[in-house]
Structure 1
Amino acid sequence: MVWLIVGGLILLMLVYSYFNTFRMVLREVEHTIPHKSGFGPLRILQLSDLHMERQSISPQRLRNLALATKPDLIVLTGDYLDRYHNIEKCVEYLKRVVTVNPKYGTYVVFGNHDHYLGERICELQAALEKIGCRVLCNESETIETEGAPLTVIGIDDHCLGKSDIPKSYQNVPSEGIHLVLAHDPNTILAMNESHPADYILSGHFHGGQFNLIPYLHRVMGFGELPKHDILKGMHRVNGKTIYISEGLGQSGLNVRLRSRPEITLHTLRTGRPDVAPAAAKTSETFAPALDGGY
């Protein structure tokens, strides 16, 4: 009898955890850069960790929500797929997102799972660029926005040793706003004063994804940051501000416990040097299903 109860509870937990993968949330984050002026507000929509092999959110549902946020810029921070035969599926999925047509385009960096494709990651890159994405592999691009130039710095995956921070900053101007895209948040620990970063966007940790045992993330081998409970959301590390998305898809099993699929709308602006910066604001909205899943 006891085993039946335990088995029933485990089954119930797994069913709930699978259901949770459909419960997408829109998080809205405001960040003010205090030491610069004349920039923003700029609306940046971040998508991360799509993991097409275990994805419960339909492309149409994602596109509808993305359209509603009216972003100026879309950024994708890595881990789109594991297997090369899903390249076409991934590109067709992201093609819906690109049709949102943000003013300043769509920028992409790769994560560790994307590099599992080996040499075929070049095929993925070419396909993404064909649909209008700008893929940054240890490089940068400067966009002329209203008020100040915005330099998007794309650092390749740090987890597998693909990152080259000095190369990423080779052509970065000192003036303007510096937005860094880096899949692995631990990248921030390898950056120093010669690597300006007004805001860093990353993913990789999935917010723990299946948080059954408290603090298990401290010993799971995700790098240094989770050991200090830096797993999701906004943090200040070594004088730099970083936001860690919980991501849209799942790794391993298609389940989530005490974690939700996330897309994030960041509103980035500058303050005036003579005015103290406002505290960062974060809010979230449940995104109901519009079409019943993938």
Structure 2
Amino acid sequence: MSSRRLSVLGGLLGTAVAAGAGAFAWGSLIERRLFTLRSETVPVLPPGAESIRVLHVSDLHMAPWQRDKQRWVADLAALKPDLVVVTGDNLGHEDGLIGLRRAFEPFRGIPGVHVHGSNDYYGPLRKNWLRYFQRHTGGLPRRSPNLDTAAMDRFFGETLQWKDLNNAVASLDVRGTALDFFGVDDPHIHRDRLDVLTGLIDELRDDQTSDDDTDVSRHVTLGVAHAPYQRVLNAFVTHGAQMIFAGHTHGGQVCVPGYGALVTNCDIPRTKVKGLSVWTHALRSSFLNVSAGLGTSIYAPVRFACRPEATLIKLVAAQI
């Protein structure tokens, strides 16, 4: 090969290396801190119902030193949402609860619901991130939980008075509409118990139909999960969820401009890896909001073409 060709190839290689280094610097130093609030409007409420503002927060992966993220989340309380939905992976360090308290304390008195992600049980590890390009079906980690999940749940439940939806159901009256929730523990590590959930939903609805004061037309059903695996989304639609909240995917975390996410870390289609869409199953459908989340593992602190986000969703009356 001639020296000229070698020079050209060397120049191209140098340009590619420089571009890669620049993209990594942007993603690790700047973009992962460019927190953004996405807004959506979803028509699921009964005719004539007052609108409900829902703040959806996910995948904080909180470490105690992340003060910028803590302040940004705390400032969202100024939006005065009617409801907060938290879809897991809140902890990112053994002392992550310190940061969660700073972030969520201003939301005291605002109704909320939450579920767990795997990182609410297991602290982060260094790993080969190329594994995310493999087919993901989840699985139980080969180690014991090492985070204080119970302390986090006490903060959510006792301090903030938020409802725990880990394989559970709950009801809240918000601005005159009865919101019926069901949720599961993290499907990514097979903690979801859809079999148990079925009975709990039946009991909730039996109690409502036996109550003479219950106006079924005022009820809206919402499903909550961390990881949006298809088996869970399908079950939620079958059980009548009119809207589903999920996280886990990080929106792909490292995306290609004009193409989008390379991986989803579950079996949801790449086109639904983040944002608002419609999930259809067995001739039924539900609105689905998958949050790209606000954090990353402390061992993979980079985002590219996928800014960290929370979502403010305005639920409004459905058109007849």
When normalised by structure 2's length, the TM-score is 0.73
Asked if structure 1 preserves the Cα contact closer than 8 Å seen for 2:40 and 2:311, the reply is: yes
Contact 1:73 1:102 in 2 (8 A): no
What stretches of structure 1 of length at least 5 have no aligned partner? 276-294
Aligned to 1:109: 115
1:151 equivalenced with 2:180 (yes/no): yes
Partner of 1:250: 296
**Secondary structure at the residue paired with 1:99?**
helix
CA distance in structure 2 between the partners assigned to 1:58 and 1:235 by the alignment = 27
Counterpart Cα distance in 1 of 2:276 and 2:74: 25
1:80 equivalent to 2:90? Answer yes
Instruction: Considering fraction of residues, name the structure with more helix.
Output: 2
CA contact (8 A) 2:113 2:163 kept: yes
- Once the 2 structures are TM-superposed, how far is the Cα of residue 20 of structure 1 from its aligned partner? 0.3
In the alignment, which of 248, 255, 274 is matched to residue 211 of structure 1? 255
Residue 143 (structure 1) shift? 1.1
> How many angstroms apart in 2 are the aligned matches of 1:211 and 1:242?
21
Look up the equivalent residue of 2:317 and give its one-letter code. T
Match of 1:231 in 2: 273
Give 3-state SS (helix, strand or coil) of 1:224's partner.
coil
Deviation, 1:215, is 6.3
Counterpart residue number, 2:236? 191
Aligned pair partner of 2:306 in 259, 279, 283: 259
Residue number in structure 1 paired with 2:221? 178
Q: Which runs of 5+ in 2 are unaligned?
A: 1-9, 124-144, 209-215
With over 3 angstroms needed to count, the CA separation of the structure-2 counterparts of 1:140 and 1:265, relative to structure 1, is same
Is 2:315 the partner of 1:268? yes
Q: For residue 191 of structure 1, give the secondary structure of its aligned residue in structure 2.
A: helix
Give the Cα separation in 1 of the matches to 2:53 and 2:195: 28
Structure 2 match to 1:282: none
CA contact (8 A) 1:55 1:254 kept: no
Give the paired residue count: 264
Corresponding residue of 1:162:
191
Q: CA 1:222/1:58 → structure 2, altered by over 3 Å: closer, same or farther?
A: closer
Could you tell me which of 84, 89, 103 is aligned with 2:98? 89
Amino acid at match of 1:41: S
RCO higher in structure (CA 8 A, sep ≥6): 1
Deviations for 1:179-211, whole angstroms, at most 9, x for unmatched residues?
A: 211111122034352x12111111111111111
1:99 corresponds to 2:142 = no
State the SS of the aligned residue for 1:240. strand
Paired residues of 1:71 and 1:102 also in contact (CA < 8 A): no
| CA displacement 1:137-164 (0-9 Å, x = unmatched) | 1112111233331112222111111112
Shift of 1:70: 1.7
- Selected match of 2:34 from 23, 31, 38: 23
- Give the Cα separation in 1 of the matches to 2:150 and 2:175: 34
1:55–1:249 contact (8 Å) kept in structure 2? no
TM score, norm. by length of structure 1: 0.79
Q: What residue identity is the alignment partner of 1:172? A: L
Deviations 1:87-139 (A, max 9, x none): 4324323xx42423454x12211112223262742333224324313322111
Matched residue, 1:45: 55
Give the aligned partner of residue 278 of structure 1: none
Against the structure 1 CA distance between its residues 213 and 78, is the aligned structure 2 distance closer, same or farther, given a 3 Å change threshold?
same
Q: 8 Å contact 2:67–2:99 — kept in the other structure?
A: no
Q: Which amino acid aligns with 2:240?
A: P
What is the letter of the counterpart of residue 184 of structure 2? Answer: I
**How far apart, in 1, do the equivalents of 2:108 and 2:264 lie?**
38
Q: Is the 8 A contact 2:70 2:100 kept in 1?
A: no
Higher radius of gyration, 1 or 2: 2
2:177 matches 1:135? no
